[in-house]
Chains A and B, each alone.
Chain A
Amino acid sequence: MNYLKLAFRRLFRKGEHAFTRIISLTAGLAFGILLLSEVLYYYSYDSFYPDADRIYVVHENFKMDKSSDKLESFPRVSGAIAPGLKAEVPGIEAATRLNSIGDHVIYTDDLNSYDASISLADEHLFDVLPLPMVSGNPKEILNSPMTCMVSQEIADNMGGNVEGKVIGIKNYPDKKLTIGGVFETLPENTNYTYDILVSMVSTEQFTWDGTNNWMGNDRYYACVKLSPGTNPKDLAHAVRAMQVKHQDIEKMEEEQQGIVLQYSFMPIKKIHVDNVKDMIVILSTIALAVLFVSLMNYILLTMGTLVTRAKSSAIHKTCGAETKNLQQMIFSETAVLFLVSIVGAILMIWALKPMAEAQWGHSLSSVLNPYVIVPLALLVVFLIFITSYFPGRFFSRVPVATAFRDYQQKRGKWKLVLLSFQFVGATFILTVLVIVTLQYNSMKNADHGYITEGVYYGSTEGMDGNKLSTVLNELRAMPEIETVGLGYDVPISGASGNNVLSPDEKRDLFNVADFYEVDSNYLSILGIKVDEGEDFTNKEAVANDVLISKKGAELLKLNNRWTDGVVGKQITISEHGNTTIRGVFPNFVVRSISDPDVRPSVFFYLPEEKFEQLKIENPSMSFNIMVKAHEGAQEGLINKITEVFNLGFPHDDAEIKSLEAEQLNAYKGQKGFRNAMLIGNIIILLVTIIGLLGYTFNESTRRRKELAIRRINGATLWDILKAFISDLEYVALPAVLLGLIGAWFTADKWMQNFAFKVHLHWGLFAACSLFILLLVALIAGINYTRTANQNPVDALRQE
């Protein structure tokens, strides 16, 4: 028998709930697959490298807080570590290092510009992290000064044949690179991305050359490939020996009275998974909840067709069908329904593509790799098996004579169990959605300790230093602009780190978020007021004076036993040397509330004319020009500011950002999560409503006679609704409680990511529960009212 043909015909039969089953499956599969594919995508990171199981990233472990025993792990090391490991640690087959010099605008001779992420790489890169070459010899290229190779994507954008072409970098106007080859573009699922690789021997052309450094300048992404069968833990002794030999680590440990620096090897495939482990738990939970609820609903609706299906199965049996035939039939039907639903799900995912890509930060096509597709395909097959096996088994077991004898469904507690799973899912996701929304709104609107409204900034990267003062003067002349200032970083982009040393300069006291130099206007633009001492507007301020956050001041007082405050005191900070503290400012949020940098922060003073001088002397140096606009003068202001900035840019390519928009952008992850929850919530509610409608419809049909008898005996509509709805609410109540518990655990875990958490008031949980219980009552009420209002005589006659 052609079961597939039969299954297709059944799709269009009345009373089989095929459409509703497809809708709920489509929605569940689309959302479930979308989330699960993202989780699997995380696990696919860097798996495309040959022998990826033998590749490890070298981490350095050190104490951020010297008074604590906790070791922080950092995925960058000093320049000499990778070659050192290769030379001195047996079991390391190959080692390489990359040093990012950032995202840049590059120019070809024809003055076309391209955006590219540029890294310096040593000649061993492709021994550890190989990529197929389109043209050129990677070893030769990465060994030749001022030579680079570009990704195929960049090469294609440049017109294809790029070998021998010379490119310039906006931020390094006096440097030229020759393209020596083209490599296949890196997939998106990698921890370390680059579009252009420049030979590491060219380092000093772009930055301070720390390639032979054993300590400090820890900015090198070092990767090693172990020999087959080597356990990274077995290398500890040899690594320590290397440290003793080259870093004099024993002496340092003695001076610092404890661990100073250790190295560990992280499997390259696990790096990303480790970074997003909380997200994996949350996304998987939501995905499985959505899939589970839609599957429960599918089974509920399938079993709702029991009467007709039992008869049909009986007919097949009387014609000689065996159990396996009936199971094959149900399997074919399920497979067809799944097939249609999967096609629907793919279309739905396609429709959600822009939103999903914005949320995930990568193209959806990048998940089309075997690490994602194979497990998802297996999952779908498993779901088809589960959802066809049990109904098939059930239908094949209904005795033929029973099926023909006007078979009536029994009360069936299993239906209530299936329904209660849906209530659990609906409550869970609704409550999580409410919490996520509240958390997102509270973070977005929270006081970060500085002003963002009306603040704009742009980098001087690529600006002609001689024109800086013109730009500043023009900006100051704009009627919309209140203040113009200079500074290296803005709070939202985070800060580099340096150590505050003890007065005898022998010990590191603590690490600070170092915002480097700012001019006298910077703090007023951000509305950061100095509580103790004076800011840099004071005429006595000299270059390299420092302002420190309240948290830093407290730590200084504690460590140095200063009882008379910190203002006016001399301290030493690595990279800056000796400096005078001019004042203390209140703590503010560095980076974002969702990803805060909790270190104390510092600003160093540099007068405006010094900024100008530095820019002229070193054109590749860049900092930000900050402006504060007058209130209400923001319409079209970005364009006006850009025009002024472009006075200093030879290629008219200045980029101006709004600090307010950038801060909001810092919470796009939470916003995306909220949106994902919102879609998940809509889907689960839709599926639950479908399930409820199906269940109450079947129940009202099954209990038609009971309803009629109750009506004849004088029951009012309200009496009937009360009795029937309370039956359902008894099931819903424990399910809702379970959903709340799940939501509480999930939300609690998610909120561990944030320093600032919204208060989880009990009223929030009560309101979500009430919503679900009222929804149940409403849907049940509508369906039961329809049946209860039928003429009871008709109902009894049909019986």
Chain B
Amino acid sequence: MLLQLNNIFKWVNSGGQRIFLLKDINLEVEEGEFISIMGPSGSGKSTLLNVIGMLDAFDEGEYNFLEESVHDLKEKHRANLYKEYIGFVFQSYHLLDELTVQENLEMPLIYKKFKGSERKAMVADMLDRFSIVGKKDLFPAQLSGGQQQLVGIARALISNPKLILADEPTGNLNSKQGEEIMELFKQLNEEGVTIIQVTHSEKNAEYGSRIINLLDGRMI
């Protein structure tokens, strides 16, 4: 078991009322799965993804990740956990504009304290694997949307995470670029990487082995 969510609740208080963002979520994810989370806007898809990625706290429930009780962990421990095992891919890529492609890829390795020589080798591998060697010295603004997302995925993968969390990874791409990215996810999944994606697209959701539907913060 990669992760397990038990009776997760998340809410905000507004105008004296409690508004639930996630309500009684129970979810088990095995290693190697490819899960698509779907639902209308405001249904809690991104919130659920952020909770799984340990970027957002929850108010009630239990969350176990690789047999670690995330709900009991202190922030630093939690950060170490997601730094070690989770890679993030975002709809708007979230590359750092002031870093080149190569430097964007290198960043997670620096924070994981890899040596310089190791970092260089790993970045070179990743550039090669995604066929973006020629772009390594370019800044994000000099790349197309598809190329930026490729870099985003490469950055998420560079430290060999067990889980990729992708929040509408094709949302800003045209259909051809979107298809290429989804093919890439499929391939990564076949190589053993667990993927959880949030998507609005039925077509993209089909790439997953399992679809979870959310409505008003609840799994249906």
Contacts and interface: CB of A to CB of B under 8 A. Distances in A.
Nearest to A322: B79
Contact of B98 (A6, A311, A325, A405): A6
Nearest to A314: B94
B50 interface: yes
A348 to B, nearest CB: 28
A446 interface: no
A538 interface: no
A9 interface: yes
B117 to A, nearest CB: 16
A321 B80 CA distance: 10
B111 A322 contact: yes
B99 A404 contact: no
A6 B108 contact: no
A404 B90 contact: yes
A570 B83 CA distance: 101
A400 B55 contact: yes
Contact of B108 (A320, A400, A404): A320
Nearest to B108: A319
Contacts of B56: 399-401
Given A320-B83, A322-B79, A399-B56, A13 B94 contact: no
B76 interface: yes
B19 interface: no
Contact of A315 (B47, B94, B159): B94
A13 B111 contact: no
Contact of B50 (A311, A322, A401): A401
A325 B113 CA distance: 12
Contacts of A319: 107-108, 111, 155
A1 B107 contact: yes
Interface in A394-418: 399-401, 404-405
A766 B76 CA distance: 56
Interface in B80-129: 83, 88, 90, 94-99, 107-108, 110-112
Contacts of B95: 315
A312 interface: yes
Contacts of B107: 1, 316, 319
Interface string B55-91: 1100000000000000000001001000100001010
Contacts of B88: 318
A9 B140 CA distance: 14
A325 B90 CA distance: 22
B87 to A, nearest CB: 9
A312 B96 contact: yes
A10 interface: yes
Contacts of B155: 319
Contacts of B99: 6, 9
Nearest to A9: B98
A92 to B, nearest CB: 65
A9 B141 CA distance: 14
Contacts of B98: 6, 9-10, 13
Contact of B111 (A9, A320, A399, A400): A320
A404 B92 CA distance: 10
Interface residues of A, number: 22
Nearest to B155: A319
A573 to B, nearest CB: 81
Interface string A118-138: 000000000000000000000
B35 to A, nearest CB: 19
A13 B111 CA distance: 24
A401 B79 CA distance: 14
Contacts of A311: 94
A321 B108 CA distance: 8
Contacts of A6: 98-99
Interface in B18-70: 46-47, 50, 53, 55-56
Contacts of B110: 1
B79 A318 contact: no
A311 B90 CA distance: 12
Contacts of B96: 312, 315-316
Interface string A765-784: 00000000000000000000
B162 to A, nearest CB: 15
Contacts of A405: 46
Question: Looking at A6, A325, A401, which has the most chain B CB atoms within 10 Å of its CB?
Answer: A401
B46 to A, nearest CB: 8
A7 to B, nearest CB: 9
Interface centre among B94, B99, B112, B159 (most CB of A within 10 A): B94
A13 B97 contact: yes
Nearest to A12: B98
A552 B107 CA distance: 85
A316 B107 CA distance: 8
A401 B97 CA distance: 19
Contacts of A10: 98
Interface centre among A6, A315, A316, A317 (most CB of B within 10 A): A315
A401 B55 contact: yes
B55 A318 contact: yes
Interface string A83-118: 000000000000000000000000000000000000
A312 B76 CA distance: 20
Nearest to B54: A400
B86 to A, nearest CB: 9
26 contacts: A6-B98, A6-B99, A9-B99, A10-B98, A13-B97, A13-B98, A311-B94, A314-B94, A315-B95, A315-B96, A317-B55, A317-B79, A318-B55, A319-B108, A319-B111, A320-B83, A320-B108, A320-B111, A320-B159, A322-B79, A322-B111, A325-B111, A399-B56, A401-B46, A401-B56, A404-B90
Given A9-B98, A9-B99, 8 more contacts: A317-B55, A318-B88, A319-B107, A319-B111, A320-B79, A320-B108, A320-B111, A404-B94
7 closest A-B pairs by CB? A320-B111, A320-B83, A9-B98, A401-B56, A319-B108, A400-B55, A401-B50
Interface of B: 46-47, 50, 53, 55-56, 76, 79, 83, 88, 90, 94-99, 107-108, 110-112, 155, 159
